[in-house]
Chains A and B, each alone.
Chain A
Amino acid sequence: MAIDILLTLLTVVFSLMVVFSKKTVVAAFSLLMTLLVIAMIYFQLGTVFLSAVQVLVNAGAIAILFVFVMMLINLEQFQNNREKSKWKLVVSTLTMLVLLGVFALVINNNIEALSVVNLTDNSMKTLFAKLFDVYYLPFEMATVLLLAAIVASIVITSHDRTEKLEEK
């Protein structure tokens, strides 16, 4: 119980830093810490393999991409990253609080049915038994989607190098 509260508090602190920090670079590293703490939460819930995949994919690849791109475009010049209009700030915060209240109410009403009992078998074999069986098509489509994403990012960011030589 204490571990749950500690992990929740850590996640709350880091995610608040992501949204409310003035410097974007601090936000990116806070996102990394949020993802790592969420991986610890997954471990605490019993899904050990998913916590490793979270570290590997989310924290070890996606967050690295963010930090890499921030260094490439030299984000230091873009530090002015928050909405200035007070009216918009107040309304959006109120909306978010209302939404959060609705979610909390729904969770509260059903909290007995939702209590985490760890009914599942935690081994990897039972988890992936359905991946190559029932969900084979989504799996293959995810592979094709990854390939499309790779090709797309290469095509979008490749610039014609011969143009610059001709200019000079």
Chain B
Amino acid sequence: MLEAAIEILLKTVVILALPLGALPLIIHVERRGAAFMQKRLGPNRVGPFGLLQPLADVAKFMFKEEVHPSHVKPFFYTAAPVVALVVALLPLACIPVAGPIEAFGRTIYPEVFRSDMGIFYAFAVSALGSYGILLAGWASNNKYSMLGALRACAQMVSYELSLSTSVVAMIFLYGTNDIHLMVSAQTGYWFGVIPQWGFFYQPVAALLFLVGIFAESNRLPFDLAEGESEIVAGYHLEYSSMKFALFFMAEYIHMIALSALFIIMFFGGYSLLPGFDLIAGNNPTLIVLLQVASLTIKIALMIWFFVWVRWTLPRFRYDQLMNLGWERLLPLGIANLIVTVLFVYFRNR
């Protein structure tokens, strides 16, 4: 009993520390990446190559004056960023960083929450993601914030649908909810070179899921919630210093959690990258370390993709966005689901 509690505590600390620790690096990558794409240099004064810039940002956030506007609703105003951060951290609980480890005489699964529903838990709690924004926009007592919050909530709910159709198709294809089984179904190579990733089985579902995670984390081109040139700053207009930093953190952690889910379903999760299994051999410790490294590299590339798209594409107009979600992506998702079901049926006969 005590052993189980210590195990869960350790796993929780690790899975919380990893994204929160990577956050300054991601913020720095975003700012430098943005700068290079716009043909300028970005922050390069603080520390070598500007790597200590996020530290300076944190210091600024902590010492900035907390402005408490008098027209906000008191409890919900303070609760909104906390809700946003907590709900963004929840999907991380079911993501394993490596395969099952055989140690101390039993099998240890390196995920915090292991249950029968596996990956379904992550999609259930990401449905709660709209509450942070909704609370923030409404508690700010401000027309622009309310408008931004309502639009963001409608967008998130709409794109959850196409996300769910693509997830159902993938679960159908793999035949299981369990993440470890999903990842082990994606090991192996075709012709010795191309890995058997879910992306090559279901490119349509991958595209739908990709668009869905851009919409869920409110990143460009779907960021009308915080559209800078349209509605001032949207739902986090009335928030200053630390509370704004919490929203910022919540957005990036949501990005990390959703890209981890994308990689688990479509890019092999923690399965070793093409060159790595030659290095690993049969040494179990090395395999586990290389699995963690593979997952980290894949997530890092995915985050770079997020940054890349953000500074390349313009923002969608609201009616274009709703049109895309309901009239284009949802029928595509359902058609993909029907094709997948037929394919699996004829494969199993």
Residues of A within 8 A of B (CB): 29, 32, 48-49, 52-53, 55-56, 59-61, 64, 67-68, 71-72, 122-124
Contact = CB atoms under 8 A, between A and B. Distances in A.
Contacts of B125: 55
A52 B153 contact: no
Contact of A64 (B121, B123, B134): B134
B115 A48 contact: yes
Contact of B120 (A29, A49, A72, A122): A49
B95 to A, nearest CB: 16
A122 B115 CA distance: 10
B175 to A, nearest CB: 11
Given A56-B124, A124-B177, A64 B153 contact: yes
B146 interface: yes
The 8 A-B pairs with the shortest beta carbon distances in the complex, nearest first, are A60-B127, A52-B124, A56-B124, A55-B124, A56-B127, A48-B115, A49-B117, A60-B128
Given A72-B150, A122-B116, A123-B116, A61 B134 contact: no
A32 B128 CA distance: 10
B51 interface: no
B153 A59 contact: no
Contacts of A123: 116
Contacts of B134: 64, 67-68, 71
Contacts of A55: 124-125, 127-128
Interface of B: 76, 115-117, 120-121, 123-125, 127-128, 130-131, 134, 137-138, 146, 149-150, 153-154, 157, 177
Contacts of B124: 52-53, 55-56, 60
Given A48-B115, A71-B138, A72-B150, A64 B130 contact: yes
Contacts of A49: 116-117, 120
Contacts, number: 52
Secondary structure of the A side of the interface?
helix
Contact of A124 (B116, B121, B153): B116
Contacts of B150: 68, 71-72
Nearest to B128: A60
A53 B138 CA distance: 27
A32 B127 CA distance: 13
A61 B123 CA distance: 13
Given A55-B124, A55-B125, A124-B177, 6 more contacts: A52-B117, A55-B127, A60-B128, A61-B157, A67-B134, A68-B153
B123 A56 contact: yes
A67 to B, nearest CB: 6
Contacts of A64: 130-131, 134, 153, 157
Nearest to B130: A64
13 contacts: A48-B117, A52-B117, A52-B121, A55-B128, A56-B124, A59-B128, A60-B124, A60-B130, A64-B131, A67-B138, A68-B134, A71-B138, A71-B150
B176 to A, nearest CB: 10
A55 B157 CA distance: 14
Q: Which of B124, B146, B150, B157 has the most CB of A within 10 A?
A: B124
Contacts of B131: 32, 64, 67
Nearest to B123: A56
A21 to B, nearest CB: 12
B154 to A, nearest CB: 8
A123 B138 CA distance: 40
A123 B120 CA distance: 13
Given A64-B157, A68-B153, A52 B128 contact: no
A60 B127 CA distance: 5
A59 to B, nearest CB: 6
A64 B158 CA distance: 12
